[in-house]
Amino acid sequence: MKLNLGCGAQKLEGWVNVDRAASLMPDQVVDLERLPWPWPDNLAVEILLSHVLEHLGPTPREFLAIMGELWRVCAPGGLITVIVPHPRHDSFLNDPTHVRPITPEGLLLFDRRKNLEWADQGVGNTPLALILGIDLAIVELEHFLEEPWLSRAQTGELSRTDLVEAEKRHNNVIVQTRVVLEARKT
């Protein structure tokens, strides 16, 4: 099964389109903040959350429970595609319904191998994968650049190092980020 969670009006053929707003006529009406979700363990081979995850879990406890549900309903090797606005872009900053920034660095906290590596190195990152008993590994990462940064990168005027520096110093460099996570299960 493929789950398009928080689909809104963006329904996908071949997916179970899920939203809490019945007026949008999704395939299933589900409030993703009410746990547990109605799907069995190890069901989904793919999950899509396009501009959804940054709206969920107003408290850390609730957000962590949602991450646990994502892992629970994923089949072994299942993929979770998360598309979110960049936290330093106006589209993130101006929306009062965004409850937290979602970053690749934050999603690494749900990677068991990274947690063990950090523990061996004495790094103080919170080992959320170990605490929650889940394992979500980043397998793809893509940033979508705003103009004029996009054109400058495409022409070679800006190096990757320059872009990383710009991202740290300026707003509105990256519009959104796409991260694909793999549910590692044995």
CATH number, residue 31: 3.40.50.150
Number of domains in the chain: 1
Look at residue 39 and tell me if it is in a domain: yes
- pLDDT of the chain, 186 residues: tens digit per residue: 999 999 999 999 999 999 999 999 999 999 999 999 999 999 999 999 999 999 999 999 999 999 999 999 999 999 999 999 999 999 999 999 999 999 999 999 999 999 999 999 999 999 999 999 999 999 999 999 999 999 999 999 999 899 999 999 999 999 999 999 999 998
* Cα-based distances in Å from 146 to 51, 95, 152, 173, 177: 17, 18, 10, 5, 11
pTM score over 0.85: yes
Look at residue 154 and tell me if it is in a domain: no
Look at residue 171 and tell me if it is in a domain: no
Look at residue 60 and tell me if it is in a domain: yes
Q: Cβ(26)–Cβ(17) under 8 Å?
A: yes
Q: Which domain holds residue 100?
A: 2-144+176-183
Look at residue 151 and tell me if it is in a domain: no
Look at residue 155 and tell me if it is in a domain: no
Look at residue 161 and tell me if it is in a domain: no
Look at residue 158 and tell me if it is in a domain: no
Q: Cβ(145)–Cβ(173) under 8 Å?
A: yes
- Say whether the peptide bond before residue 85 is cis (omega within 30 degrees of 0): no
Q: Which of 128, 143, 138, 153 is nearest to 174 (CA)?
A: 143
Query: Residue holding tokens 């009410």?
Result: 34
3-state secondary structure of 100: coil
